[in-house]
Amino acid sequence: MRKLQRIAILLFVMLVSVGCDQATKSVAQNTLAGTEPIIFLNGMVRLQYAENPGAFLSLGAGLSSEARYWIFVVLAALILGGLILYMFRVSLKMHIMSLVGLALFAGGGLGNLIDRITNDGRVIDFMNVGIGPLRTGIFNVADMALMAGIGLLAVFELRKGTGDQGLGTEDRRC
């Protein structure tokens, strides 16, 4: 696959991730803010508006606003910028599954970074799943893209490690 095609795939995956994330957050903000949670599937899925000033499970929410800005905006932007540059520079050397995993991760990171920049350092979350008292934290589409990217990278690396890539006849270099 040529470099231009790989870059197009990277951009497509990142733009779709960011677009879906921002669209769903807009809907959540306009329809869920200030309302009671909406419950589906006998409580397994809850749609509930929340603004998270911290990271995963509100880690860092207790830090000063200046510390949160430097960690969650400046540092995150630098890391994402480096990751995106890395993806474009090595796109021909990586397996397409690794590239898609990294693009999902970057797209999710960008979606949450946009929130932090436009929402006074907070990320809009609105989904919660679980059974009874066993529940996830409240999350969003960007978080799902981040986790899907990590999962894809992990599965690919595990398969690569066993020698069973099962991914067709594409270039298997990493």
Question: Which residues are catalytic, by number?
Answer: 125, 143
In this structure, what are the phi and psi dihedrals at residue 114, rounded to the nearest 5 degrees? -60, -45
Edge-to-edge order in the sheet of strand 38-40:
38-40, 45-52, 123-131, 134-135
In terms of Cα–Cα distance, which of 151, 121, 142, 120 is closest to 18? 142
**Gap between the Cα atoms of 136 and 144, Å rounded:** 12
**Gap between the Cα atoms of 143 and 112, Å rounded:** 8
Q: Provide the token pair at 108.
A: 């999710």
